[in-house]
């Protein structure tokens, strides 16, 4: 049985307070009375709480622990989505927190894995990190500045956006793995071109999102 954070709810939901949130490529209209702590939400909160532990592990060179945390975070991300679909445990809170958890972990990982001070053998180039983070920030700001009558379909993740997120996840995972296990020939070959792929995808998906958002009709357009 889901736990409701706020129980005030009218029969037609007309007087329920709402909040508007924007994050990444998504914009949310959240009814406070629909903020349920379901199992998927609980897993998402665990993923958020794991972010500082992951950051501390990377900073102090505990890369095996960092790899394990990053891998478990990916598993819980898949698991909470499966549970939400299989048992119909969707909620406004989950729809908001899930991408927040993903972007928080990815951003922290990007920043730490590009810092020479961490003492890693292989780091992500700073220019790649800047492009990846700037894309998310710009998209988030653009979504927040949209008027209330905007078409919600503007903010649905595109196929290109999902490919970009997947490529970023793979690169971060392999950089962590390479620093944890030491020099590996096939990984070193991978790094010669993977960083450029992530950068090109970040630019392409950002431009695609901008074009789709600016060309999409208003929700209340005739």
- pLDDT (tens digit, 9 = 90+) per residue, 64-84? 999 999 999 999 999 988 998
Predicted local distance difference test score (pLDDT) of residue 105: 95
Segments of the chain scoring below 50 in pLDDT = 1-34, 219-222
Amino acid 201: pLDDT = 96
Rounded to 10°, the helix 92-112/126-144 angle is 150
Q: Phi and psi (nearest 5°) for 216?
A: -70, 140
* Domains within the chain, CATH numbers bracketed: 3-215 (1.20.120)
User: Which residues, including other chains, have CB under 8 Å from residue 39's CB and lie 6 or more apart?
Assistant: 80, 83, 87, 89
């Amino acid at each position: 049985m889901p736990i409701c954070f706020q129980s005030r709810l009218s029969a037609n939901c007309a007087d329920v307070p709402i909040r508007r949130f924007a994050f990444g490529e998504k914009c949310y209209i959240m009814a406070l009375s629909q903020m349920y702590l379901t199992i998927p939400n609980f897993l998402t909160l665990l993923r958020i709480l794991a972010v500082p532990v992951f950051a501390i592990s990377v900073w102090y060179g505990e890369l095996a622990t960092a790899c394990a945390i990053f891998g478990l975070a990916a598993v819980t991300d898949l698991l909470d989505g499966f549970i939400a679909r299989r048992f119909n445990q969707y909620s406004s809170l989950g729809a908001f927190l899930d991408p927040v958890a993903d972007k928080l972990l990815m951003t922290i990982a990007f920043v730490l894995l590009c810092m020479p001070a961490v003492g890693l053998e292989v780091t992500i180039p700073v220019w790649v990190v800047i492009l990846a983070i700037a894309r998310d920030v710009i998209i988030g700001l653009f979504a927040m500045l949209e008027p209330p009558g905007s078409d919600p379909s503007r903010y649905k993740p595109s196929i290109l956006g999902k490919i970009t997120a997947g490529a970023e996840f793979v690169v971060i995972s392999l950089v962590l793995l390479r620093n944890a296990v030491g020099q590996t020939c096939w990984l070193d070959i991978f790094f010669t071109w993977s960083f450029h792929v992530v950068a090109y995808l970040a630019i392409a998906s950002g431009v695609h999102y901008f074009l789709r958002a600016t060309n999409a009709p208003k929700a209340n357009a005739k």
